[in-house]
Amino acid sequence: MLSFRPSRQTLLAVPLGLAALTASAAFVDMPDWDLNGDAAAGKVIANDRAKGNCVACHMMAGSEGPGAIGPVLITMQTRFASKKALARQIWDPTVKNPEAVMPPFGKHEILTQKEFVDVVEYIWSL
């Protein structure tokens, strides 16, 4: 019978690795930004195929060639308890759903702070 007996180094590496993962997760938490942005600027970014590109996956009123992978972006103020809750979803959708295919726009710094806040304002207005 074969048995596995972990070495002392292995036993120490596991908790240290978990601690590192926890520390890095805290680093990417959404900052406490003022979420009052410019909805018109956010609409441009959300429809820009080279930047926000929300339209690639979501149907939004007035958008050309919308995708159908993500949910339709309507009645957002009834779907999210607050603008901050919506911002957290856009910041990192994998927090609520680890299998999410939507990129973490804030966590991965796909958008600048201003672009992020403007997109949140626009999506919140839908």
Q: Which domain holds residue 36?
A: 30-125
Is 84 contained in some domain?
yes
Q: Mean pLDDT for the chain?
A: 82
Banded model confidence at residue 4, pLDDT cuts 50, 70, 90: low
| pLDDT, position 35 | 92
Is 7 contained in some domain?
no
CATH number of residue 117's parent domain = 1.10.760.10
Is 3 contained in some domain?
no
3 state DSSP class of 22: helix
Q: Tell me the pLDDT tens digit for each residue of 87-109.
A: 999 999 999 999 999 999 988 99
Is 81 contained in some domain?
yes
Is 8 contained in some domain?
no
| pLDDT, position 51 | 86
CA distances from 14 to 22, 29, 53, 56 (A): 12, 23, 39, 40
User: What is the number of domains present in the chain?
Assistant: 1
Does pLDDT of 24 surpass 80? Answer: no
Does pLDDT of 47 surpass 60? Answer: yes
Banded model confidence at residue 66, pLDDT cuts 50, 70, 90: confident
